[in-house]
Amino acid sequence: MAHMTEPGSRYRQTQRGRHSTLTYGNNGTEHGNSRRTNPTAHDEEIIVDDDDTKVWSLYDAGPRTVRCPIILLPPVSGTADIFFHQILALTGWGYRVIAVHLFGASLGGFLAQKFAEYTHKSPRVQSLILCNSFSDTSIFNQSWTASSFWLMPSFMLKKIVLGNFASGPVDHVMADAIDFMVDRLESLNQSELASRLTLNCQNSYVEPHKIRDLAVTVMDVFDQSALSTDAKEEMYKLYPNARRAHLKTGGNFPYLCRSAEVNLYVQIHLRQFHGTRYAAIDPSMVSAEELEVQKGCPTQIAEAEAS
């Protein structure tokens, strides 16, 4: 799971530790103070600049023999470790999670589309999974403030992001997910927040004709989220041939609070590449992985493959 770098960019990579432990929440439940260690996860730092002040972190997990991993891109409020449910599950099934398949949530999904668009003449992306994402930043109606985010203090930027978090009654799993994302938001400094909000709100849109040949799954929720109905409909129009993965609930962070369903849809999306050069899974693990999927939720599988 990583922030992507432009091909040819100058970068230095350092590995902070071979094994990575990810912590979620603080209330002692399965979705609380559970510490889970993935022995194949590498916590690494990448510096993409002329100095050492801008460090991007990533978790690279799964079989190193896989040449075409899936990369997960977080939303404005997230960091690399928010996808720990996906890392633990997918690497257990033999996938390499870290570039041809992109999973993007919210802003991460928008950036995944823009990267695919930017590299369409020399393709580096084979497929997209877009979770609660959008194709045009104008839906937020904040383009006029985008240039001033750099001048705002950190607490004000955090208040803007928190304004999109669910405020009504939610189940305990979703409440834990929100608490975790608030904690991740607190870990971001002013410049990180300002740059993310600027990307999220400055005038920009996806040019669909440049990425129409990609395999796409559009994933969204039916309950309350920061994404409006109009934004969802626009995504459906932009990708008329895309698979649709609908979750009844999940709010802004289904990959945390509805991880089993999200992981299932990710597997279904990636299954179409099994046996090809673009497979994100170790070939020796396909049989076991297929059995796990079939054993999971047959009804959801049938609905997802039909959509």
Residue 210 lies in a domain: yes
Residue 151 lies in a domain: yes
Three-state SS sequence of 147-171: HHHHHCCHHHHHHHHHCCCCCCCCC
Separation CA 177–CA 163 (nearest Å): 16
Residue 7 lies in a domain: no
Per residue of the chain (307 residues), give pLDDT as tens.
Answer: 333 333 333 333 333 443 333 333 443 344 444 334 454 556 666 665 666 666 667 778 888 788 788 888 888 888 878 888 988 888 888 888 754 478 888 999 999 999 999 988 888 899 999 999 999 999 888 888 888 999 999 999 999 999 888 777 889 999 999 999 999 999 999 999 999 999 999 999 999 899 988 999 999 999 888 888 999 999 999 999 999 999 999 999 999 999 999 999 999 999 999 888 888 888 888 776 565 665 555 555 545 555 5
Residue 4 lies in a domain: no
Residue 3 lies in a domain: no
Residue 5 lies in a domain: no
Total structural domains within the chain: 1
The pairing of strands 215-221 and 127-131 is parallel
Residue 2 lies in a domain: no
Tell me the C-alpha to C-alpha distance, in Å, between residue 193 and each of 35, 75, 107, 170, 224. 27, 11, 12, 26, 24
Residue 1 lies in a domain: no
Query: Domain span at residue 67?
Result: 12-306
Residue 189's domain is classified under what CATH number? 3.40.50.1820
- Chain centroid, CA 80 distance in Å: 9
Q: Report phi then psi at 267, rounded to 5.
A: -60, -45
**Is the separation of the CB atoms in 181 and 253 below 8 Å?**
yes
